[in-house]
Amino acid sequence: MIGTACQQGALVRVISHEGQILFSQKGKLLGFSSEVVSILKGNALFICDHQGNTLSTHRYTANHPTHTHSSKSLLFYLLFGCLDKIGDAYRLYQFLGRGNAIGTDGGDLNWKNIGICFLSIFFWIACFFAASKMGIVE
């Protein structure tokens, strides 16, 4: 009979009601009862008896709830808002610098337009890289 099971570093220790160590195994303790212990090793879940014998093995997939408004999502939206404001500021610069109405600048291609285009591309690459490192996109 299993008295308790506890996680000690990378080991799971299973202890009897009398306080004797029944067995130790590497893994993560997920739960126990008086008859069995569930131990996670990698992506496999092992159900073991009081002697440490494996009774069954199952594939383990953790269903983590998604946080729709986490701080990571907020940061991503702030970066998107910054890019939007950069575009607005550039259009205002064109409007004030040339004396043309917004949208009627003739579409001429110059180095400022090319620079803004490349800056935009590098900005989105950086956003995607940051989002993938934070786990927002997979």
Residue 66 is assigned to a structural domain of this protein:
no
pLDDT band with cut points at 50, 70 and 90 for residue 92? low
Q: Tally the domains of the chain.
A: 2
Residue 65 is assigned to a structural domain of this protein:
no
> Among 35, 59, 83, where does a domain finish?
59
- In this structure, the answer to whether residues 76 and 36 fall within a common structural domain is no
pLDDT band with cut points at 50, 70 and 90 for residue 86? confident
Beta-carbon contacts of 90 under 8 Å, excluding residues fewer than 6 positions away, are 116
Domain encompassing residue 39? 4-59
Cβ neighbours of 47 (radius 10 Å):
17
Residue 14 is assigned to a structural domain of this protein:
yes
Predicted TM-score (pTM) of this structure? 0.45
- In this structure, the answer to whether residues 19 and 47 fall within a common structural domain is yes
- In this structure, the answer to whether residues 37 and 75 fall within a common structural domain is no
pLDDT band with cut points at 50, 70 and 90 for residue 29? very high
Residue 97 is assigned to a structural domain of this protein:
yes
Residue 66: per-residue pLDDT: 45
In degrees, to the nearest 5, what angle opens at C-alpha 94 toward C-alphas 92 and 97?
Answer: 105
Residue 54 is assigned to a structural domain of this protein:
yes
